[in-house]
Amino acid sequence: MKKTVIILSILALIAGSCRQKNNKEIKPVLIDYKSDTYRISLGESFQKSKKIIDWRYDWENSRDTTINAYFSLGEPLISYNDGEWLPALFLETDKNRIISFTCSILFILEKTGNPIENFLNIIGNDIKKLQIDTIKKSIISNGIFETSTENYIETYKLTTKEERLTFTYDLFEYTIKIPPDEQTH
């Protein structure tokens, strides 16, 4: 009987510490996509962004009862290289809290001049950190810039059509997410 009480006490302590870690409060981090207009942050309630952006439920990418995925194709077109390109937005929530955001743009790079720099300058109006020279130079040279803290991972990535092996479209993706070990489950 005494053994059972001790074992149950230990299990209760373990369960309590796990619950405490999973409910860890994450300081909200402003998402760098139209941040002056949208003011959406990782770690905050999905309901706030739902009032600003017309999110659609993404059945294919929702993983379980607490992880939900959403997308939006309602952003204004971006004019570049004699074409208009649609930013696609993706969002993941865990228990109604934003844990991941991606802005993805398929487009065709110009064939002359400084095509990557020109494209980054245009979308730098919506993604402010693309105006920082070190970030822009890293993307131009390496195709990627990534930074992380204990609260988030932020990635800016440009993949050319040759690298994607599609030979049709180039791809730019801006992603910010809470690391998996910091998400609640």
Indicate whether 44 belongs to any domain. yes
Query: Domain residues for 38?
Result: 26-182
Domain contains 85? yes
- Residue 31 counted as domain residue: yes
pLDDT tens, per residue, the chain with 185 residues: 444 333 333 333 333 333 333 455 678 999 999 999 999 999 999 999 999 999 999 988 887 778 899 999 999 999 999 999 999 999 999 999 999 999 999 999 999 999 999 999 999 999 999 999 999 999 999 999 999 998 999 999 999 999 988 779 999 999 999 998 766 54
Tell me the CB-side half-sphere exposure of residue 132, using CA atoms within 13 A: 9
Residue 111 lies in a domain: yes
Tell me, yes or no, whether 18 lies in a domain: no
Cβ neighbours of residue 118 closer than 8 Å, sequence gap 6 or more:
80, 110
Reading the block at residue 57, the tokens are: 């439920």
In-domain check, residue 5: no
Does residue 169 lie within any of the structural domains? yes
- Note whether residue 4 is domain-resident: no
Q: Is the distance from CB of 101 to CB of 176 less than 8 angstroms?
A: yes
Burial of residue 141 (CB within 10 Å: 0-12, 13-18, 19+) is exposed
Number of domains in the chain: 1
